[in-house]
Amino acid sequence: MNPIRKLFIANRAEIALRIVRTARRMGIATVVPWHATDRHGPARREADETVQLFGEPPVSAFLDIDGIVRAARDSGCDAIHPGYGFLSENAAFARAVADAGLVFVGPGADVIERMGDKIRARRVAVQHGIPVTPAADEADDPAGFAERAHAVGFPLLVKGAAGGGGKGMQIVREPSRLAEAIEVARRESERYFGDGRLFAERYVERPRHIEVQVFGDVHGQVIHLGERECSIQRRFQKLIEETPAPGLDPGLRERLCEAAVRLAQAAGYVNAGTVECIVSPAGEFFFLEMNTRLQVEHPVTECVTGLDLVEWQLRVAAGEPLPLTQAQVRWHGHAIEARLLAEDADAGFVPDTGRVRRLRWAPGPGLRIDAGVTPGSPVTADFDSMLAKLVGHGATRELAISRLALALQDSVLLGVTVNANYLARVLRHPAFVRGETDTGFLERHGDSLQPEPLSDDQRRLLLAVAARALPDPTALPLPEPYAAMGAWRN
């Protein structure tokens, strides 16, 4: 047992705030880092201490292993929680934390190296009888990679071995595009992960993306907390996630969860992790990858289980056994999460920047909002475009959809373009309501997800309302030097 008394949170925005609140409830002091371009982060206001990081571009400050570890030690912390993104799946970071005598809230470096690397994780899956798609990797012969990938057959998905979040992925349907796809995937992987190693796997058409939340402790117990449907994606990045997965055959659900636990046990997995799979239209499932960290979409699992996964992470990191056995886990109702992003979804998901001028979250039962911005927060291109996560929870999927769609529709965020209306249209789309989801959903239904154009009467009415809402321009104080010019006019 190694109780955690003071926690350094090596992250920012909504996940940092979410960890601060759980740690505070557990009596653990918190330290949150910040960068000058991100000084308005809400976690700074609730953390016990803050420490400034330096670096350009700003994201580099949160990727500086030596700087993060030094800041944690200098502030008297005995543990580091990496959140997700940044260094959360970096084995070198986990090793540096341990070497500094601090507790890393996550799996050990050796497990991250084994399961966070897509190529090595696939090999572990094959060794333990978990199905994978046909694939080829670079291994010790990068020069022959293209030829081996070609032999797998098309369509192919070329991806980075150390990648995630949709970065460094290319679908290849024609042999003539393979060389270009390899070049693009390698360039993106090197840029985002500092690792250009690739592999290629057979691409399953119209797959569902299903993942299983697993948890292990240092006493050898591994359990699952159910599955999540993550098929609503754009550019391989998730937008909407839910649990339980709609319409999933009970037998298939049981096999998926059993395989995820078996894989985690084989890896000697400790702490929170996610086993991601794709499910074909025929009902076959294939191991995709393992995320050796907490997931962005973990709130939906918390809503249906009533558990705090960050609390579990901290307790397991301190050496405690898992709070529940598999037989004691219970699920209630349905939960759906939507990622609110600073982008214009109707213009091809073009990112936007600005400053949050006004912010009001819609109230209502069965809603959870994890926000990383407050009024006045700048929204820049320095960090990820996700501003908040909105979760609807109810006794049925229909109720969860209704609550979440209304929350997206009635919340107000002005100053930067966000995808709230687009997400609400997805939730209300008849095919989504029927549970007919796969990773090609947004592209296939693109035309029917477009907003209805405003009529001339609607446009005139909105302009009139906006004009009436403006203050009297004659009542506004004039700035200098114009105020000193009196009635002079050019």
What average pLDDT does the segment 294-301 reach? 98
201 vs 277 pLDDT, higher one: 277
CA distance 343 to 452: 19
Name which of 349, 341, 339 is nearest 443 in CA terms. 349
**Cα torsion 310, 315, 317, 321: sign:** negative
CA distance 181 to 169: 8
Kindly indicate the confidence band of residue 430, based on its pLDDT and cuts at 50, 70 and 90. very high
Identify whether 244 is preceded by a cis peptide bond (ω within 30 of 0). yes
487 vs 73 pLDDT, higher one: 73
State yes or no: pLDDT of 481 exceeds 80. no
> Mean pLDDT in the chain?
92
Q: How crowded is residue 365: how many other Cβ atoms within 10 Å of its Cβ?
A: 9
Specify which residues 232 forms β-bridges with: 240
Dihedral (C-alpha) 59, 61, 66, 68: value to the nearest 10 degrees? -100
CA distance 380 to 184: 25
Name which of 137, 123, 161, 160 is nearest 263 in CA terms. 123
CA distance 323 to 328: 9
What average pLDDT does the segment 47-62 reach? 94
Q: How crowded is residue 366: how many other Cβ atoms within 10 Å of its Cβ?
A: 18
What average pLDDT does the segment 121-132 reach? 93
Share of the chain above pLDDT 70, in %: 95
163 vs 148 pLDDT, higher one: 148
Q: Which residues of 32-45 are buried (b: 16+ CB within 10 A; e: fewer)?
A: bbbbeebebbbbbe
Angle at which helix 13-25 crosses helix 309-317, to 10 degrees, equals 70
State yes or no: pLDDT of 4 exceeds 70. yes
Question: What pLDDT was estimated at residue 165?
Answer: 63
Dihedral (C-alpha) 51, 54, 59, 62: value to the nearest 10 degrees? -40
pTM of the model: 0.88
Q: Which amino acid would we find at residue 346?
A: D
Kindly indicate the confidence band of residue 38, based on its pLDDT and cuts at 50, 70 and 90. confident
What average pLDDT does the segment 444-470 reach? 87
CA distance 57 to 381: 10
Question: Tokens representing 169?
Answer: 């992925």
CA distance 370 to 18: 7
**Cα torsion 9, 13, 18, 21: sign:** positive
Question: What pLDDT was estimated at residue 485?
Answer: 65
State yes or no: pLDDT of 490 exceeds 60. no
CA distance 404 to 336: 7
Which domains can be identified in the chain, with CATH numbers?
Answer: 6-105 (3.40.50.20), 134-202 (3.30.1490.20), 208-449 (3.30.470.20)
Phi, psi of 422 (to 5 degrees): -65, -45
Question: Tokens representing 434?
Answer: 């029927």
Dihedral (C-alpha) 185, 190, 195, 198: value to the nearest 10 degrees? 10
Q: 3-class DSSP state for residue 235?
A: coil
Name which of 23, 68, 66, 26 is nearest 46 in CA terms. 23
How many residues are recorded in the chain?
490
Kindly indicate the confidence band of residue 442, based on its pLDDT and cuts at 50, 70 and 90. very high
DSSP classification of residue 143: G
Q: How crowded is residue 293: how many other Cβ atoms within 10 Å of its Cβ?
A: 27
Question: What pLDDT was estimated at residue 478?
Answer: 61
Name residues whose C-beta falls within 8 Å of residue 135's C-beta, 6 or more positions apart in sequence. 122, 152, 199, 200, 201, 202
Least confident of 93-107, 140-154, 199-213, 365-379: 140-154
